[in-house]
Amino acid sequence: MSRTEYKNWRKAVFERDNYACQHPGCDKRGGWMNADHIKPWAYYPELRYDVNNGRTLCVEHHRLTFKDVFKHRKIGSPCEIRTHDLCLEGAAS
Ligand SMILES: [Zn+2]
């Protein structure tokens, strides 16, 4: 897991989306945004750094996707589906 690769991926996603939340009907833009993996990287390692598998979400909508994942998937450990900064922070050390 490369921190630099992840940062580059995230930046590419943000720039493609113009730093705007991609959730339908949401007009949040800029500020504190999250890069979301559409297909969780725990299950699709080959898509981890694929810009097409990323989308920009505001914090609020990013949280909603976590709830969805928790609801619909059986998971081994919480970290497996924490596909974003918190988990990567741990994985990088
Ligand atoms: Zn949003």
- Give per-10-residue mean pLDDT for the chain (93 aa): 86 96 93 88 88 93 71 46 41 35
Question: How far, in Å, from the CA of 55 to the mean position of ligand 1?
Answer: 11
- Locate 86 and state its tokens: 């918190």
Helix (H/G/I), strand (E/B), else coil: 43 = coil
What's the gap in Å between 13 CA and the centre of ligand 1? 15
pTM of the entire structure?
Answer: 0.70
Residue 71 has what pLDDT?
A: 52
Tokens of 87: 């988990």
Q: How many residues does the chain have?
A: 93
Give residue 93 CA to ligand 1 midpoint distance, Å: 30
For residue 14, the SS3 value is helix
Main-chain phi, psi angles of 43, to 5 degrees: -105, -20
